[in-house]
Chain A
Amino acid sequence: MASTVETEHHAPAPAEPVRDGIWRRPLKNTGLVGFLTTVDHKKIGIGYAVGALFFLILGGIEALIIRAQLMYPEQEVISARTYNQLFTMHGTTMIFLAVMPLSAAFFNYIMPLQIGARDVAFPRMNALGLWCFLLGGVILNLSWFFPGGAPAIGWFAYAPLTDRQYSPEMGTDFWIMGLQILGIASLVGAFNFITTIVNMRAPGMSMMRLPLFTWMTLITSFLIILAFPAITIALIELMFDRHFGTYFFNVEGGGKPILWQHLFWIFGHPEVYILILPAMGIISEILPVFSRKPLFGYPLIVFSGAVIGFLGFAVWSHHMFTTGLGVVATTAFAFLTMLIAIPTGVKIFNWIGTMWGGRIRFTTPMLFSVGFIWMFMMGGFTGIMHSSPPVDAQQQDTYFVVAHFHYVLIGGSIFALFAGMYYWFPKVTGRLMDDFVGKIVFYLMFIGFNLAFFPMHILGMTGMPRRTHTYKSEMGWDQSNFWSTIGAFILGIGILIFVIQAIHAYYKGKKSPKDPWDSRTLEWDTESPPKEYNFPYTPVIHARDQVWEDKYGVEAKRMEKIAPGEHGIHMPDQSWWPLITSIGLFIACLGMVFHKQPVPMTSEAVFGLEIVIAGLLLTFYGIAAWALEGPGGFHLHPDPAEYADAMPAPEDDHGHH
Chain B
Amino acid sequence: MSSHAATTDDPHAALAPLKKTSTGVENKKLAMWAFLASDCMFFGTLISTHLIYRKVYPTVVEPTEIFDIELTAFSSFILLMSSLLMALSVSAAHKGNIAGMRRFLLGTIFFGLIFLSGQVYEFNHFVRESGLTLSSSVFGSTFYVLTGTHGVHVALGVLWLSCWTACTLPKDWAWYTLKGRRFLWLPFRVVFAPMTGRYKHENALDVEVAGLYWHFVDVVWIVIFTAVYLVEYLPVFGF
Q: Tell me whether A191 and B22 are in contact (CB under 8 A).
A: no
Residues 534-581 of A at the B interface (beta carbon under 8 Å): 570
A504 within 8 A of B: no
For the complex formed, measure the closest distance between the CB of B189 and the CB atoms of chain A, giving whole angstroms.
13
Choose one: A233, A240, A245; the contact of B45 (CB below 8 Å). Answer: A233
Do residues A19 and B194 form an inter-chain contact, with CB atoms below 8 A? yes
CB distance from A72 to the nearest CB of B (A): 45
B37 CB–A CB distance under 8 Å = yes
Confirm or deny: B122 has a beta carbon within 8 angstroms of a beta carbon on chain A.
no
Contact between chains at A253 and B138 (CB < 8 Å): yes
Tell me how far the C-beta of B175 lies from the nearest C-beta in chain A, rounded to whole angstroms. Answer: 13
CB-based contact A225/B34 at 8 Å? yes
CB contact between A198 and one of B22, B45, B46, B163 (< 8 Å): that residue: B22
Which residues on B are within 8 Å of A, measured CB to CB?
Answer: 1-2, 4, 17, 21-23, 25, 27, 30-31, 34-35, 37-39, 41-42, 44-46, 49, 52-53, 56-57, 60, 134-135, 137-138, 140-142, 145, 149, 163, 194-195, 198
Q: Are A226 and B41 in contact (CB under 8 A)?
A: yes
Q: Is there a chain B Cβ closer than 8 Å to A192's Cβ? A: yes
Top 9 A-B residue pairs of the complex, sorted by shortest distance between their CB atoms: A246-B141, A245-B135, A229-B41, A199-B21, A233-B45, A225-B38, A229-B42, A121-B27, A201-B22
How distant is the Cα of A230 from the Cα of B46 in the complex, in angstroms? Answer: 9
Question: Taking CB as reference atom, which chain B residue is nearest A655?
Answer: B1
Interface residues of A in 228-285 (CB under 8 A from B): 228-230, 232-234, 236-237, 240, 244-248, 253-256, 259, 263, 266
The minimal Cβ–Cβ distance linking A176 to chain B, given in whole angstroms, is: 15
A634-B20 Cα distance, complex, nearest whole Å:
19
A508 within 8 A of B: no
**Interface presence of A627 (CB below 8 A):** yes
Asked whether B21 lies within 8 Å of A246 as measured between CB atoms, the reply is: no
Encoded as 1 (CB less than 8 Å from any B CB) or 0, chain A from 455 to 467 comes to 0000000000000
The interface bits of chain A over 186-212 (1 if a CB of B lies within 8 angstroms of the residue's CB, else 0) are 010011101100111100010000000
With a CB–CB cut-off of 8 A, which chain B residues contact A35? none
Tell me if A232 and B42 are in contact (CB < 8 A): yes
CB-contact partner of A237 in B35, B49, B195, under 8 A: B49
Can you name the residue of chain A whose Cβ is closest to the Cβ of B133?
A: A245
Contact string against B for A residues 489-507, beta-carbon threshold 8 Å, 1 for contact and 0 otherwise: 0000000000000000000
- Residue of A192, A230, A248 near B41 (CB, 8 A) is A230
Question: Hey, which bits of chain A sit against chain B, CB under 8 A?
Answer: 19, 121-122, 187, 190-192, 194-195, 198-201, 205, 225-230, 232-234, 236-237, 240, 244-248, 253-256, 259, 263, 266, 570, 624, 627-628, 630-631, 633, 654-655
Q: How many angstroms between the C-alpha atoms of A245 and B141 in the bound complex?
A: 8
Min CB gap A188→B, angstroms = 9
Find out whether the CB atom of B38 lies under 8 angstroms from the CB atom of A624: no
Task: Evaluate contact between A200 and B38: CB separation under 8 angstroms.
Answer: no
Instruction: Please state if B135 and A247 are interface contacts (CB–CB under 8 Å).
Output: yes
B17's partner among A192, A263, A266, A654 (CB-CB below 8 A) is: A654
A266-B194 Cα distance, complex, nearest whole Å: 43
A199 touches B25 (CB 8 A): yes
Question: Would B38 and A246 count as touching, CB distance under 8 A?
Answer: no
25 intermolecular pairs with C-beta atoms under 8 Å apart? A121-B27, A190-B34, A191-B34, A191-B38, A195-B34, A199-B22, A199-B25, A205-B22, A225-B34, A226-B41, A228-B38, A229-B45, A230-B41, A233-B42, A234-B45, A237-B145, A244-B135, A247-B137, A253-B135, A253-B137, A253-B138, A627-B163, A628-B198, A633-B2, A654-B17
